[in-house]
Chains A and B, each alone.
Chain A
């Protein structure tokens, strides 16, 4: 990594520590509580690009505030959640989505656990089958300590 880049990262870090732990408290003129809930849910699933480990709802970065206001504005224009997400993806790529869309690139992510579960399930099934045929399992004892 170049020296300048390193210095830049360091400076970014310094610049952000000042704001990173403050609050993202940002009262907006919602029409009703349902809209506020929708806004909270939507912004909590969007990732801030500046403080990359915070969602838009929690980040106090100036940039996050701008995007929150943009999301609010789009909601006021009657855009759906999907449209708002697409608006941000068009500009900032899939990175903004904490909920990765299912596509060829994320196939392994979404179905990997299922594959492991199936493979493991077969192994467990095989083991139980084998062990239940390995001999007569001891009849249930009732001595009380065998729990």
Chain B
């Protein structure tokens, strides 16, 4: 029996490695799930892109759910995501806030002018300080925040039509059911 131990240990190891292959073919191995899910969003107050003297804060957004989409003009994958947002943002039924991350406002304006603006409002975080509070570590990332200011869902990486129909829209629907 004890002679079979190495074999059994190997079977466990092989199962783990097999799991690793499967897992990595269905998950982004570099995505780190946020610990902020179902926790209150950090308080923030960031200037709007087109009216830098006005700012949007957590308090001003309380009351109904909204989506925060982190993007930047320097970010390749945001270009991939952009057409999807252009097509889908109006159909989500909630405000979509563009969060311009570590970007020159002029670059962001030019980028939005060129590719179209899917956002209801765009706020800018040029230094990236607030983004640390949100646990942002790249772009694009997307947060769904409910009317009480709690983060309910986070997507790391670009939104795709599949992600929107399979994850984001059900999450929004669930929010609406909670607070009609």
Contact, chains A and B (beta carbon distance below 8 A)? yes
Residues of A within 8 A of B (CB): 1-2, 4-5, 7-9, 11-12, 14-15, 49-50, 52, 62-63, 66-67, 70, 89-93, 95
- Given A7-B80, A50-B137, A67-B132, do A1 and B25 touch, yes or no (CB 8 Å)? yes
Tell me which of A2, A15, A49, A70 contacts B137 (CB under 8 A).
A49
A-binding segment of B48-56, B63-71, B157-165: B157-165
Main secondary structure, interface of B, reads: loop
Q: Which residues of A contact B129 (CB under 8 A)?
A: 66, 70
Q: Which residues of B contact A7 (CB under 8 A)?
A: 77, 80
Closest partner residue, chain B, to A63 (CB atom): B137
A-binding segment of B32-40, B113-121, B142-150, B170-178: B32-40
Q: Is the CB of A12 within 8 A of B137?
A: no
- Given A5-B160, A49-B32, do A66 and B25 touch, yes or no (CB 8 Å)? no
Q: Mark B67-87, 1 if CB is under 8 A from A, else 0.
A: 000000000110010000000
Tell me which of B30, B36, B162 contacts A9 (CB under 8 A).
B30
Tell me which of A14, A70, A89 contacts B35 (CB under 8 A).
A89
Total residues of chain B contacting the partner, CB 8 A: 26
Q: Mark B91-122, 1 if CB is under 8 A from A, else 0.
A: 00000000000100000000000000000000
27 A–B pairs (Cβ distance < 8 Å), ordered by A = A1-B25, A1-B27, A2-B160, A2-B162, A5-B158, A7-B80, A8-B76, A8-B157, A12-B76, A12-B138, A14-B76, A49-B32, A49-B137, A62-B102, A66-B102, A66-B132, A90-B35, A91-B35, A91-B132, A91-B133, A91-B134, A91-B135, A92-B35, A92-B135, A93-B32, A93-B34, A95-B32
